[in-house]
Amino acid sequence: MIKATGIEKSYNDEKVLKGISLEVKDGEFVSIMGESGSGKSTLLSILGGFLMPDCGQVFWQGEDISTFGENRLADVRCTDVGFVFQSFRLIPTLNVKDNMLLPATLGKKASKETCDYVEELVQELKLDGLLKKYPTQLSGGQCQRVAIVRALAYKPKLVILDEPTGALDSVMEERVMELLSRINRVHGTTIIQVTHSKKVAEYGNRIIYLKDGEIDG
Ligand SMILES: Nc1ncnc2c1ncn2[C@@H]1O[C@H](COP(=O)(O)OP(=O)(O)OP(=O)(O)O)[C@@H](O)[C@H]1O
Ligand SMILES: [Mg+2]
């Protein structure tokens, strides 16, 4: 599904990623753990095609994404890859419903199937009643769940999540993790998540540890 080879990234003079190579196969559910500042979010942004590495390559289904060009990258990100940012990145001028449907509606109207699926996710993550609100009117945990629905709305083949339960209480954390496990099992969706929680990490099939910009062990 996704493969990275020799990824290096520096910010100013600081080398944040020092040659990361990893492969995540179709249908895997992988958790990435590591100290704050170890480069997890930077790595996810590179795997998701939001940030270009200084060295190394990222392949999605065997294709080097640096050859895609902005338009194709944007298209594939909308349909095949769902991404939940650590800071959520909801669009402040759109209400909750429109935020959720955003990737699905870029250039076209969301299908009935997508709308029905989003409605199911809304019920499951207890977001009903919030659909007409704007992101600034939501709590952090509500924003996080909206961002998760947005990432899943189009049933992408790959979902990448940066601390998807960081703002949630334990009951909601369990609901989100059960949902992710289910789409992994039932739809065969490949999942890569970053978390600081061992319990959350263990919902995955494999844990990768990052330490100072390198894979540890
Ligand atoms: N846009 C940026 N410009 C400059 N430095 C950055 C930028 N983004 C991240 N960094 C630095 O890169 C390092 C790794 O950051 P990153 O966000 O990848 O860590 P992380 O492992 O996700 O941490 P956390 O667990 O706190 O989210 C940190 O030292 C951070 O200060
Ligand atoms: Mg981070």
Cβ-contact 214, 207 below 8 angstroms: no
Q: Which of 9, 10, 11, 193 to mutate to test the pocket of ligand 1 (most atoms within 8 A of CB)?
A: 11
Question: What is the C-alpha separation between 6 and 19, in angstroms, rounded?
Answer: 4
* Residue 105 banded pLDDT, cuts 50, 70, 90: low
Domain positions in the chain are: 2-216
**Pocket lining: 41 vs ligand 1, CB cutoff 6 Å:** yes
Report residue 23 as tokens: 């492969």
* pTM assigned to the model: 0.95
Average pLDDT of the chain is 94
Cα–Cα distance between 211 and 72 in angstroms, integer? 33
Give the residue whose CA is nearest to atom 3 of ligand 1. Answer: 11
Q: What's the CA gap between 171 and 154, in Å, rounded?
A: 25
- What's the confidence (pLDDT) of residue 104? 60
- Surface-to-core class of residue 7, CB atoms within 10 Å of its CB (0-12 exposed, 13-18 middle, 19+ buried): buried
- Maximum C-alpha span of the chain: 49
Specify the CATH number of the domain 2-216: 3.40.50.300
CA distance 29 to 193: 8
What Rg do the C-alpha atoms of the chain give, in angstroms? 17
Helix axes 140-152, 112-124, angle to 10 degrees: 150
Distance between Cα 110 and ligand 2 center (Å): 31
Distance CA 80, CA 82 (A): 7
Task: Using alpha carbons, select from 119, 41, 127 the residue that is nearest to residue 85.
Answer: 41
What pLDDT band is residue 107 in, cutting at 50, 70 and 90?
Answer: low
Token pair 């990222």: residue: 58
Give the pair of three-digit tokens for residue 150. Answer: 């947005």
Q: What is the pLDDT of residues 114-159, one digit of tens each?
A: 999 999 999 999 999 999 999 999 999 999 999 999 999 989 999 9
Ligand nearest to the CA of 85: 2
Q: What is the pLDDT of residues 8-19, one digit of tens each?
A: 999 999 999 999
DSSP 53: -
DSSP 65: G
Q: 162 CA to middle of ligand 2, Å?
A: 7
Instruction: With H, G, I as helix, E, B as strand and everything else as coil, classify residue 64.
Output: strand
User: Which residue's entry shows tokens 């844990």?
Assistant: 207
